């Protein structure tokens, strides 16, 4: 009987071919499911990294705003202190009946005290700025490390020839 007329070898060939196609289709489905799982995992890690970066940036902005408010209040405090001291000296001169020399002496002593206070406040502001810059640098390096770790953990792209 000829091969093409329904011999047992033809049925065997058709079954083998069908099984091969089914195996290939199953392998493709498994590959696509694995790729989907890897893409979902990658998406989750990207979202987590973006969320962490957003939180760090928000925290840095909040700290910078807080430092700005602190500096603003420090300047206002300094101006109020100067005004109060000047008013106090004027009251002492008026009520104490001091001579101009004594008043001048008090004012020069007051100026020395105010300049000393100004230096202390300026040094404090410089220290606050340095502390803020250091915190910012540390947090930025942490973000860079997280991004680097994120990129190192990414699975390498697989080509379709690896099926």
36-57 tens-digit pLDDT: 999 999 899 889 988 888 888 8
Q: What is the DSSP letter of 156?
A: P
pLDDT tens-place string over residues 122-131: 898 899 888 8
Percent over 70 (pLDDT), the chain: 85
The mean pLDDT value for 128-151 works out to 83
Interatomic CA distance for residues 67 and 85, integer angstroms: 27
Q: What is the DSSP letter of 1?
A: -
Instruction: Please give the pLDDT value at position 154.
Output: 64
| Torsions phi, psi for 105 (to 5 deg) | -65, -45
Interatomic CA distance for residues 134 and 61, integer angstroms: 14
Asked if residues 82 and 121 have their Cβ atoms less than 8 Å apart, the reply is no
77 vs 147, residue with greater confidence: 77
Note if the pTM is more than 0.85.
Answer: no
**pLDDT of 100 strictly over 80:** no
The mean pLDDT value for 81-110 works out to 79
Instruction: Please give the pLDDT value at position 5.
Output: 47
Instruction: Please give the pLDDT value at position 162.
Output: 45
The mean pLDDT value for 109-121 works out to 87
User: For all residues of the chain together, what is the average pLDDT?
Assistant: 80
């Amino acid at each position: 009987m000829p091969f093409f007329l329904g011999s047992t070898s033809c049925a065997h060939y058709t079954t083998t071919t069908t099984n091969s196609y089914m195996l290939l289709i199953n392998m493709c489905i498994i590959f696509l499911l694995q790729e989907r799982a890897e893409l979902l995992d990658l998406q989750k890690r990207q979202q987590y990294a973006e969320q962490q970066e957003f939180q760090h940036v928000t925290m840095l902005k909040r700290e910078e705003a807080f430092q700005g408010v602190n500096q603003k209040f420090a300047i206002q405090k300094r101006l109020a202190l100067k005004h109060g001291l000047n008013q106090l000296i004027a009251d002492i001169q008026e009520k104490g009946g001091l001579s101009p020399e004594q008043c001048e002496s008090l004012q020069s002593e007051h100026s020395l005290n105010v300049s000393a206070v100004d230096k202390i406040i300026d040094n404090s502001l410089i220290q606050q700025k340095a502390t803020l810059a250091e915190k910012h640098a540390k947090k930025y390096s942490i973000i860079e490390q997280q991004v680097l770790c994120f990129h190192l953990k990414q699975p390498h792209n697989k080509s379709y020839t690896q099926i």
